[in-house]
């Protein structure tokens, strides 16, 4: 099913409720997973990933047409992710195969090849790698628990310059945060002193500040 054919203003979850209205509870349970005591809705588990390499760049015409092909692939509900690499001449597709144990729409490798052919792109099975793909581990969980986050230097600095500056910058940042927190705390306490009814309501005891000899000499007054 093409995503463009869906009714407007209907979420994927609402569409699933309609599609799964007559499906038994055991199959519905397959859309959920429990991790660390929390229940997550994960409609896919093991899907498939296919890579077509050595694709003649003449079929793509130019980067703009390659991007359009990638968009057209993603319009198919059974295709979870697609990447058309114009420079390398390859196409990577993560899709929901017919043998996948889930309730979502499915597509076969033959249908993918047929679709590419309809778009004027010829691919060869001799340069095709089709394998299982763990959706939950590599796709769903990766978004929340990525193994690494690429670090970027601030504008105007190289990554080498930034690595030397970073410790001092983090130290100043921590000091600035602490200073702001202290300033805000003092503001809160001063406000409660001026409004004792609020302090009483929240059960906060306002201690009277004692002036030192130095404060008296320099004329400091109690706040």
Q: Would the pLDDT of 212 be above 70?
A: no
> What length does the chain have?
223
pTM for this entry: 0.56
- What is the CATH number that goes with domain 3-144? 3.30.70.100
- Which range in 17-26, 34-43, 57-66, 150-159 is most confidently predicted, on average pLDDT? 57-66
- Cβ contacts of 72 within 8 Å, gap of 6 or more: 119
Q: Per-residue pLDDT tens for 39-55? A: 777 888 889 999 999 98
User: In angstroms, what CA-CA distances link 59 with 55, 120, 204?
Assistant: 8, 6, 73
Band the pLDDT of 130: cuts 50, 70, 90. Answer: very high
DSSP, residue by residue, 36-63: TTEEEE---SEEEEEEE-S--HHHH-SH
Residue 23: the pLDDT is 62
Phi, psi of 187 (to 5 degrees): -65, -45
Q: Per-residue pLDDT tens for 12-41? A: 666 666 666 666 666 666 777 777 777 777
Residue 51: the pLDDT is 95
Grouping H, G, I as helix, E, B as strand and the rest as coil, residue 208 is coil
Grouping H, G, I as helix, E, B as strand and the rest as coil, residue 79 is strand
Grouping H, G, I as helix, E, B as strand and the rest as coil, residue 68 is helix
**Enclosing H/E stretch for 159:** helix 159-194
Domain ranges of the chain: 3-144, 159-217
Phi, psi of 134 (to 5 degrees): -80, 100
| CB distance 103 to 29 below 8 Å | no
Residue 179: the pLDDT is 93
Quote the tokens at residue 114.
């047929």
Strands (E), the chain: 32-35, 38-41, 46-52, 79-85, 90-95, 128-134
Q: Would the pLDDT of 149 be above 70?
A: no
Residue 137: the pLDDT is 83
| CB distance 191 to 202 below 8 Å | no
| CB distance 192 to 206 below 8 Å | yes
C-alpha span between 42 and 12 (Å, rounded)? 13
Quote the tokens at residue 209.
């500040």
Grouping H, G, I as helix, E, B as strand and the rest as coil, residue 94 is strand
């Amino acid at each position: 099913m093409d995503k463009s054919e869906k009714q407007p203003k209907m979420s994927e979850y609402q569409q699933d409720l309609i599609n799964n209205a007559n499906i038994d509870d055991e199959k519905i349970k397959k859309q959920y997973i429990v991790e660390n005591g929390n229940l997550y809705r994960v409609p896919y588990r093991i899907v498939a990933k296919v890579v077509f390499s050595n694709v003649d760049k003449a079929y793509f015409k130019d980067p703009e047409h390659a991007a359009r092909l990638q968009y057209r692939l993603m319009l198919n509900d059974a295709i979870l992710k697609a990447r058309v690499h114009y420079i390398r001449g390859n196409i990577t597709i993560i899709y929901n195969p017919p043998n996948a144990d889930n309730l979502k729409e499915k597509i076969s490798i033959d249908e993918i090849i047929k679709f590419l052919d309809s778009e004027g792109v010829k691919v060869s099975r001799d340069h095709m790698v089709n394998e299982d793909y763990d959706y939950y581990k590599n796709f769903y969980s990766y978004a929340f628990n990525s193994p690494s986050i690429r670090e970027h230097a601030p504008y105007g600095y190289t990554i080498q310059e930034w690595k030397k500056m970073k410790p001092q910058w983090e130290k100043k940042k921590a000091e600035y945060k602490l200073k702001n927190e202290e300033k805000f705390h003092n503001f809160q306490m001063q406000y409660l002193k001026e409004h004792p009814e609020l302090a009483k309501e929240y059960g906060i005891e306002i201690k009277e500040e004692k002036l030192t000899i130095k404060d008296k000499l320099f004329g400091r007054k109690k706040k």
